[in-house]
Amino acid sequence: MNTRRETLVQWLLQRSTALILIIILWIMPLQGLFFLNIVLFWHLHIGIEEILADYIHHEVTRNLILMWMRIFLLILMKYLFVFVLY
Amino acid sequence: MKINRPLSPHLTIYKPQLTSSLSIFHRITGAFLASMFLFTIFIIKVCDLSLSIYPIYWFVFELQPTNQFNWILFGLMLLVLLAFSYHMSNGIRHLTWDIGFGLDLSKVYLSGALAICSAALVASVTITCLIWFFR
């Protein structure tokens, strides 16, 4: 039950971030740069999680890779925010 | 995350059809775009951190815009542009499916052809504008 709910939340988040990305890219290309980074990284992270869940069947390996991926993405997000702000 | 998914279908043993190829390419272009995005930020940060190393300095120096046309950068940009426009148009198609619209087989084929055409259109218009403004 819990995992099914989690999957549903991921599915909904992927779709809503895709919608927000389309809206941002078509309507406000430069004003929404700060917002764009968060939504883009979110969409990207859910996509990577989905691909890893499909092709890596060993649970410990997958969780380890997901953990490192999350840290890597957080570091890159921080770099991108610094690039945008300065 | 505790999940146990079935084995994904092997791509080589099925007859390639329009619907399956579009779905496969949606995932491939998504992975390509994600890796290019992350790799670019990572490379820029690494080059920024270690400019005092001569090969990296040379690399950054070579990447600067000059009068000479950089074929490698142009090809990479074109690939990213094609992947992006395809992923966006097919993503809009997926969103219309999620609303519940156009799920018949004939409509699926029609919207697939439409997605390919609009991706080619967006990519060609963007590359024409880029060449027009930055030549």
Q: What is the pLDDT of residue B32?
A: 96
Q: What is the pTM of this model?
A: 0.86
Q: What is the pLDDT of residue A2?
A: 58
Say which residue, A26 or A85, is predicted with more confidence.
A26
> Residues B55-61: what's their mean pLDDT?
84
| pLDDT one-digit tens code per residue, A33-59 | 777 888 899 999 999 998 998 888 888
Q: Which ipTM score applies to this complex?
A: 0.86
Q: Hey, what domains does chain B have and what are their CATH numbers? A: 18-134 (1.20.1300.10)
d(Cα A49, Cα A56) in Å, to the nearest integer?
10
Q: What is the pLDDT of residue B22?
A: 93
Residues of A in contact with B3 (CB under 8 A): 3, 7, 53
B80 part of contact set with chain A, CB < 8 Å: no
Q: Answer left, alpha or beta for residue A16, where phi above 0 means left and psi between -120 and 50 means alpha.
A: alpha
B125 part of contact set with chain A, CB < 8 Å: no
Q: Is the pLDDT of residue B37 over 90?
A: yes
Q: Answer left, alpha or beta for residue B33, where phi above 0 means left and psi between -120 and 50 means alpha.
A: alpha
- Chain A residues within 8 Å of chain B (Cβ atoms): 3, 6-7, 15, 18-19, 22, 25, 40, 44, 47-49, 51, 53-55, 57, 59, 62-63, 66, 72-73, 76, 79-80, 83
> Residues B58-69: what's their mean pLDDT?
74
N- to C-terminal Cα distance for chain B? 49
Q: What is the pLDDT of residue B69?
A: 73
CB contact under 8 A, A55 and B1: no
The mean pLDDT of chain B is 87
d(Cα B37, Cα A83) in Å, to the nearest integer?
14
Confidence category of residue A1, pLDDT binned at 50, 70, 90: very low
Nearest residue, CB atoms, A44 vs list B37, B42, B95: B37
> Residues B108-118: what's their mean pLDDT?
94
* CA-based nearest distance A86→chain B, Å: 14
Q: What is the pLDDT of residue B1?
A: 59
Confidence category of residue A86, pLDDT binned at 50, 70, 90: low
Confidence category of residue A32, pLDDT binned at 50, 70, 90: low
> Residues B59-73: what's their mean pLDDT?
75
Domain A2-85 has CATH 3.30.420: no
Q: Are the C-beta atoms of B3 and A53 separated by less than 8 Å?
A: yes
Q: What is the pLDDT of residue B48?
A: 83
pLDDT > 90 in chain A, percent = 30
Helix axes B18-49, A59-85, angle to 10 degrees: 60
Say which residue, A66 or A7, is predicted with more confidence.
A66
CB contact under 8 A, A25 and B1: no
B2 part of contact set with chain A, CB < 8 Å: yes
Q: What is the pLDDT of residue A5?
A: 79
* CA-based nearest distance B7→chain A, Å: 7
